[in-house]
Amino acid sequence: MIRFNCDYAEGAHENILKKLMETNLEQTPGYGEDRYCEEAGRLIREKCKREDADVHFLVGGTQTNLTVIDAALRSYQGVISAVSGHINVHETGAIEACGHKVLVLPSDDGKIQAQQIEKLYRDHVEDETHEHMVQPKMVYISNPTENGTIYSKKELTEIGSVCKKYGLYLFMDGARLGYGLTAKGNDLDLPDVAHICDVFYIGGTKVGALFGEAVVITNPALKEDFRYLIKQKGGMLAKGRLLGIQFGELFRDDLYFKIAEHANKLAMMLKNALLEKGYPLFIDSTTNQQFPIMEDSFLETLREKYSFAYIQRYDDTHSVVRFCTSWATKEEDVQTLISDL
Amino acid sequence: MIRFNCDYAEGAHENILKKLMETNLEQTPGYGEDRYCEEAGRLIREKCKREDADVHFLVGGTQTNLTVIDAALRSYQGVISAVSGHINVHETGAIEACGHKVLVLPSDDGKIQAQQIEKLYRDHVEDETHEHMVQPKMVYISNPTENGTIYSKKELTEIGSVCKKYGLYLFMDGARLGYGLTAKGNDLDLPDVAHICDVFYIGGTKVGALFGEAVVITNPALKEDFRYLIKQKGGMLAKGRLLGIQFGELFRDDLYFKIAEHANKLAMMLKNALLEKGYPLFIDSTTNQQFPIMEDSFLETLREKYSFAYIQRYDDTHSVVRFCTSWATKEEDVQTLISDL
Amino acid sequence: MIRFNCDYAEGAHENILKKLMETNLEQTPGYGEDRYCEEAGRLIREKCKREDADVHFLVGGTQTNLTVIDAALRSYQGVISAVSGHINVHETGAIEACGHKVLVLPSDDGKIQAQQIEKLYRDHVEDETHEHMVQPKMVYISNPTENGTIYSKKELTEIGSVCKKYGLYLFMDGARLGYGLTAKGNDLDLPDVAHICDVFYIGGTKVGALFGEAVVITNPALKEDFRYLIKQKGGMLAKGRLLGIQFGELFRDDLYFKIAEHANKLAMMLKNALLEKGYPLFIDSTTNQQFPIMEDSFLETLREKYSFAYIQRYDDTHSVVRFCTSWATKEEDVQTLISDL
Amino acid sequence: MIRFNCDYAEGAHENILKKLMETNLEQTPGYGEDRYCEEAGRLIREKCKREDADVHFLVGGTQTNLTVIDAALRSYQGVISAVSGHINVHETGAIEACGHKVLVLPSDDGKIQAQQIEKLYRDHVEDETHEHMVQPKMVYISNPTENGTIYSKKELTEIGSVCKKYGLYLFMDGARLGYGLTAKGNDLDLPDVAHICDVFYIGGTKVGALFGEAVVITNPALKEDFRYLIKQKGGMLAKGRLLGIQFGELFRDDLYFKIAEHANKLAMMLKNALLEKGYPLFIDSTTNQQFPIMEDSFLETLREKYSFAYIQRYDDTHSVVRFCTSWATKEEDVQTLISDL
């Protein structure tokens, strides 16, 4: 069985495992107050060109989303998201469990646009019964999105402007940020992201780490007491150094971006093959997730040898599925798949 | 200024005020454990033909909705509602503040249909990642809806069947139940509602009381410890008898239905006048809320003499507005409005 | 049966009922935006000598406590209270249901002292693991306390100073404030309370109203968006004018204080009789709640004719009970009780 | 610097790291549905002699406590705990953030007794205002406790009986379970724990793993939909196999117990030395945490070479501190400390 169903099927990059072995019996303080977390934080701040940023390490994506969002909102405030946003669909109501409504915007490709946000916000404040409605206060975007699409610098800048104009916090879920920032056609870099967003995170789980997400907070209003919240939500790892060590390795010599590029390269190889062989793509993704439309009978055959994600029915005889590559995907496995298509 | 903007612009029916005066200095136990609440509960059970029902009195609608829904759901479970449902739009996130997601279904007229519920439920359980999604466990409908439309017995029975089939609780928000059950074309009665729903409430605030909603619980699973929840959510009125006295009066000699009928009659008078005079109706309502589409310039004139609710823009020069009648509306006021149209 | 078990056994002062009758068919806007609420707010601001205060009207005490406290705290922050505080004991976990821990201080008489608060706060910030603990951010006191005791101006001033010093909000639960401010030996007045507290409420339910509590917010940090929270928590009364009318009457010609004084006078009559007849008092209260220690066998006899609250066992043959007077208690009923002692 | 301040200063047992290396590039399904989790679950069920138990793997202790407790309680229900319980003191209000009150019992040594639980429960149900109070529904104990003490089989059996009698769930926090079950004088084993408790967890973080806690649920009422809650609370690790691999190694050939015994042996060596040298012990612990009372001036000297936890002031010149050994502590480090005492 060759797995293309997700980008977290394997363990971690070898550098990380090596470093974990080397440092295993070293004694450090707990809860992220060790020198590895300090160093990893420094590396990330440098890459972001934001000396003033706070960097925190959490274990997983849902945990990170709920902690960041709960840190930002008062109880009657909500977070704006694409209807397809991970927080709206795939976190078992984690945001609502913290008391906050997800205010959804329609989206075909996983992205939302500045004008949509502006309209939602203005509709709220102009409604004479707005006190009877959830007050929008944060915008959540994922980049790349759940559909593999990415924001351009222009799009992100416009969203950032609208947020600033109306006092909305902008939060980017970067669970797959590496795959986005190294995608063909991408014109954003980490300093842009850190400049435009109030808070974002750099995903490790899906990009080379055993686990871990690095939250970068640039807006001072969101920095206060953030560690209280990490602890309360169950996200403060006792042996916090495990996170520092991993992000230290990922951000040494741009490893994070190199391995992300590898995944994208293989995804483009697959994408081209799919198009050549006449499989239409449900969404035009330039990152490590590809969404071909395939005949159901063929999918059944494919399933004997490969795992991939079922997305949705397309028509009576076709479905949309997802193939993921990752930092660990072998080129030979992609070649085998291509020859089976 | 003549107010047609809502159905809670006046105080209470005179019988209620009279009884409040008469009993004012009587000493009773607090928190709904007095003889007036007992009697009102008995009257309501009789009208519902459900001796086994639990009846609780709360002060207002949002409070009632959040208490009932929180009583029914575990923290990872959600409540299905029309996108236009009061809990989704006009309660400042009260349900989410209790930790629960509102799972929305599209709706043009405020109603949802059994097939929509079935599809949402089956999509959930059949999704291989369903543990990553909010589990549907309750269905919320309002009758009449926020749009003034009503469910037929057939529609409600079908919804009830789907709910039973999949173990979903059915909850009817009856903030305006009186106006629904006395509407032209309605074929539901209280025993039907009590038979089909697991829990529902009979709205007093909008139908003749100073305030108050009577929750009727027929499903034993929802009865347990309900009073703990009323207290926790801040809904347990110290002088609970005020609620018992009001519902006692409303359910004596069918006062509740008689005054609701009055409002509907005036609404139909207005509806007919609107249609005659060529104002299109945004929604075809048979209850006390009417939604004409009117020219903006004319609305400005009307606003000098009348208050009404602005609903939404229709086109560049027209808007949808809402006129409400109530148990207290005077026929002469409706006549004045009609002559001004 | 003569009821001394609580101070909410009767309805409302006659002036209130009269005004409700007079205004019953008047049409007003809903949700507290009517002229009666406006006038009542103005009267209260005047009495408090705080033109800048925000005044909001809610229906009941638990609702008020949870709304105010949730407005003040971020999710990892807690509220300091006497172990006997109403929010800690008698609100079915309403504060915790909003996500906040009640941080308890020991108390014999229901009061807490400035030094206790200071110690708790300093212990928190000086603990090297403070991020693993709930951060104290608000102080809750009730005046009179659940035990009928009152704070002196000196005590309240000291508490206020500690709160200011450490950035803690001071919140006074004034469910029985009238009885406190008119008690023998009291040296506080409304302007003092408004000056020292960041937020407090003036209880109506137990002092002459059918229901209702007037929240007075003087700290600007607590004012923002408070109405969103009232709505979300289910505390925004549709016919909000009912609250405005009641507080308007209570604060016209000092009615609130006059009727509170009546209750205290009768309580002192009872207290003196109890002491004369040799019944020890569990707590030395100068307000409308009295806590004698009585023999169990005698209590059984008393119970045939009177209702009163059981507080706790004192020894094998004695118990502590509570007798309450109220604005509505008849002097002849107190005399009858005294003669039966 | 030699660290005795906690039992999570190092990484993981070498067997675990070795296995992580070996399996690193293997592809597995995510979210705990891989063969390593399956095998680890099987091993744990065997050791517990409970084929019917559900076993789930979570990352850390606070996360586990909040997930288990939220799974068990309706919103008006609370969990009984020693005042010193981890959930009451050191989790930044994680339980309250899920909406539940911690109902505290006094304790000198970290343990609570069956009679205390029974009294608290009966006081609740016998109180006529019990609907105004949080309903006790679960009992939380830690074994070993935060003070290093352990429950005897007799004590645990009695607690279990009271819980069964009153329908309370019994939950054991086993963050340090290994150190408890291998302590001198302990007469409990895993099958006892699994038999008596409704749910408990076997701590990995503090006993040889990089991280991880294995939740064992024996009561069917607590099993339903538990994975939904793990996901919602942010505790579902994407690469779940990391947990399966670790617990697989720990429960192969009793490694878990062997390494726990090592820590206890060193702790007893230290304890004997402390007693011999005349340092009184604040609490008589037989597990890996020791609590000597030492002069402040001496502690300052010690601090130059060792790290240890400050617990509390004992008198003007003495303090209580905590020294922890762990599975990784070197005997030579303990000898060095002893010779410095």
Query: How far is D274 from chain C, CA to nearest CA, in Å?
Result: 25
> In DSSP terms, which residues pair with B200 in a beta bridge?
B172, B216
pLDDT per residue as tens digits for the range D250-275: 999 999 999 999 999 999 999 999 99
Judgement on whether residues C142 and C289 belong to the same structural domain of the protein? no
pLDDT band at D296 (very low <50, low <70, confident <90, very high): very high
pLDDT per residue as tens digits for the range A133-150: 999 999 999 999 999 999
Judgement on whether residues B59 and B174 belong to the same structural domain of the protein? yes
* Residue D225 to residue B99, Cβ atoms within 8 A: no
pLDDT band at D334 (very low <50, low <70, confident <90, very high): very high
Residue of C nearest to B238 (CA): C8
Give chain C's mean pLDDT: 97
Please list, in sequence order, all residues whose beta carbon lies within 8 angstroms of the beta carbon of residue A205, skipping any fewer than 6 positions away: A8, A60, A61, A175, A211, A212, A213, D238, D239
CATH number at residue C85: 3.40.640.10
* Token pair in block for residue A25: 């019996």
pLDDT per residue as tens digits for the range C119-139: 999 999 999 999 999 999 999
* Residue B135 to residue D76, Cβ atoms within 8 A: no
Judgement on whether residues D45 and D167 belong to the same structural domain of the protein? yes
pLDDT per residue as tens digits for the range A161-189: 999 999 999 999 999 999 999 999 999 99
Judgement on whether residues C282 and C333 belong to the same structural domain of the protein? yes
* Domain-terminating residue out of C191, C222, C254: C254
* Residue A96 to residue B134, Cβ atoms within 8 A: yes
Q: Say how many CB pairs under 8 Å bridge A and C.
A: 39
Judgement on whether residues A264 and A236 belong to the same structural domain of the protein? no
* Residue B228 to residue C92, Cβ atoms within 8 A: yes
Judgement on whether residues C311 and C178 belong to the same structural domain of the protein? no
Q: Which residues of D touch A305 (CB under 8 A)?
A: none
* Domain-terminating residue out of B254, B275, B302: B254
CB D219 within 8 A of CB D167: no
Q: Which residues of A touch D67 (CB under 8 A)?
A: 234
Task: Give percent of chain B above pLDDT 90.
Answer: 99
Q: Say how many CB pairs under 8 Å bridge B and D.
A: 41
Among residues A249, A221, A248, A95, which one has the least CA distance to residue A164?
A: A221
pLDDT per residue as tens digits for the range B146-168: 999 999 999 999 999 999 999 99
pLDDT the model gives residue C238: 98
Number of structural domains chain D divides into: 2
Judgement on whether residues D134 and D203 belong to the same structural domain of the protein? yes
Residue of C nearest to D124 (CA): C89
CB C261 within 8 A of CB C269: no
* Residue B91 to residue A128, Cβ atoms within 8 A: no
* Residue C97 to residue D78, Cβ atoms within 8 A: no
* Token pair in block for residue A298: 């063929």
* Residue C25 to residue B328, Cβ atoms within 8 A: yes
* Residue A228 to residue C131, Cβ atoms within 8 A: yes
Starting from the edge strand earliest in sequence, which strands make up the sheet with A135-142, in order?
A54-58, A213-217, A199-203, A169-173, A135-142, A77-82, A102-105
DSSP A46: H
Helix (H) or strand (E) holding A339: helix A331-340
Query: How far is C180 from chain B, CA to nearest CA, in Å?
Result: 20
Quote the CA–CA distance of D172 and D138 in Å, as a whole number.
10
* Domain-terminating residue out of A254, A282, A308: A254
* Residue C8 to residue B2, Cβ atoms within 8 A: no
pLDDT the model gives residue C329: 97
Pairing verdict, β D213-217 and A102-105: unpaired
**Helix residue ranges, H only, A148-294:** 153-166, 177-181, 190-196, 220-223, 226-232, 241-250, 255-276
Query: How far is C20 from chain D, CA to nearest CA, in Å?
Result: 31
Instruction: Please state whether B257 falls in left (phi above 0), alpha (psi between -120 and 50) or beta.
Output: alpha
Please list, in sequence order, all residues whose beta carbon lies within 8 angstroms of the beta carbon of residue B329, skipping any fewer than 6 positions away: B4, B262, B263, B266
pLDDT the model gives residue A34: 97
Judgement on whether residues D81 and D230 belong to the same structural domain of the protein? yes
The total number of residues written for chain C in this structure: 341
Per-residue HEC secondary structure of chain D comes to CEECCCCCCCCCCHHHHHHHHHCCCCCCCCCCCCHHHHHHHHHHHHHHCCCCCEEEEECCHHHHHHHHHHHHCCCCEEEEEECCCHHHHCCCCHHHHCCCCEEEECCCCCCCCHHHHHHHHHHHHHCCCHHHCCEEEEEEEECCCCCCCCCCHHHHHHHHHHHHHHCCEEEEECCCHHHHHCCCCCCCCHHHHHHHCCEEEEECCCCCCCCCEEEEECCHHHHCCHHHHHHHCCCCCCCCHHHHHHHHHHCCCCHHHHHHHHHHHHHHHHHHHHHHCCCCECCCCCCCEECEEEEHHHHHHHCCCEECEEEEEEECCEEEEEEECCCCCCHHHHHHHHHHC
B-interface mutation test, from C69, C173, C232, C337, most B Cβ less than 10 A away: C232
Q: What does the CA dihedral C20, C21, C23, C28 come to, rounded to 10 degrees? A: 60
Q: What are phi and psi of A157, to 5 degrees?
A: -60, -40
- Residue A329: which domain range? 2-7+256-340
Judgement on whether residues A89 and A193 belong to the same structural domain of the protein? yes
Query: How far is B1 from chain A, CA to nearest CA, in Å?
Result: 19
Judgement on whether residues C114 and C21 belong to the same structural domain of the protein? yes
CATH number at residue C286: 3.90.1150.10
pLDDT per residue as tens digits for the range B285-310: 999 999 999 999 999 999 999 999 99
Task: Give percent of chain D above pLDDT 70.
Answer: 100
Residue of A nearest to C70 (CA): A75
C-interface mutation test, from B232, B259, B334, B337, most C Cβ less than 10 A away: B232
pLDDT the model gives residue D150: 98
* Residue C9 to residue B23, Cβ atoms within 8 A: no
pLDDT the model gives residue A190: 98
* Token pair in block for residue A198: 């109030």
pLDDT band at C266 (very low <50, low <70, confident <90, very high): very high
pLDDT per residue as tens digits for the range D188-221: 999 999 999 999 999 999 999 999 999 999 999 9
* Residue B132 to residue D231, Cβ atoms within 8 A: yes
pLDDT the model gives residue C177: 98
Task: State ipTM.
Answer: 0.96
Judgement on whether residues C280 and C227 belong to the same structural domain of the protein? no
- Using CB atoms, which residue from B89, B91, B101 is nearest to A96? B101
Q: Which residues of B touch D74 (CB under 8 A)?
A: 71, 225
A neighbour chains, 3+ CB pairs within 8 Å: B, C, D
Query: Crossing angle of helices C153-166/C114-126, nearest 10°?
Result: 20
Q: Which residues of D touch B231 (CB under 8 A)?
A: 76, 131-132
pLDDT per residue as tens digits for the range C67-101: 999 999 999 999 999 999 999 999 999 999 999 99
In C276-332, DSSP assigns E strands to 289-290, 293-295, 306-307, 309-315, 318-324
What is the SS3 assignment for B289?
A: strand
* Residue B134 to residue A93, Cβ atoms within 8 A: yes
- Using CB atoms, which residue from C59, C233, C239 is nearest to B11? C239
Judgement on whether residues C249 and C267 belong to the same structural domain of the protein? no
Q: Which residues of A touch C225 (CB under 8 A)?
A: 74, 76, 131, 135
pLDDT the model gives residue A271: 98
pLDDT the model gives residue D236: 97
- Using CB atoms, which residue from C76, C99, C228 is nearest to A131? C228
pLDDT band at A87 (very low <50, low <70, confident <90, very high): very high
